Amino acid sequence: MEIAQLYTKISALPSELKSEVNDFVDFLLAKRNKQLKKKKPVFGCAKGDIIMSPDFDKPIEDFKD
């Protein structure tokens, strides 16, 4: 859609609908900024959060059969 067409359509709206369009544009811009700010995880950032028991590799007695 061309900018001129969009401007013409918005100009034809009553003022209360122009306000809604403005709010929606603000919402879209905030949503876009939030998506741009998402950080990628850094390798090793969860180090120490998960602890495995020392006998993790030990064979389980229930599976000996």
How far is the C-alpha of 43 from the C-alpha of 14, rounded, in Å? Answer: 53
Q: What angle do CA 18, 19, 23 make, to 5 degrees?
A: 115
Q: What pLDDT was estimated at residue 26? A: 95
In the predicted structure, residue 6 carries a pLDDT above the cut 70: yes
Contacts of 61 (CB under 8 A, 6+ apart): none
In the predicted structure, residue 65 carries a pLDDT above the cut 70: no
In the predicted structure, residue 61 carries a pLDDT above the cut 90: no
pLDDT by residue (tens digit) across 15-59?
A: 999 999 999 999 999 999 887 777 788 898 888 898 888 988 888
Q: What pLDDT was estimated at residue 48? A: 87
If phi > 0 it is left, if psi is from -120 to 50 it is alpha, else beta; for residue 54 that is alpha
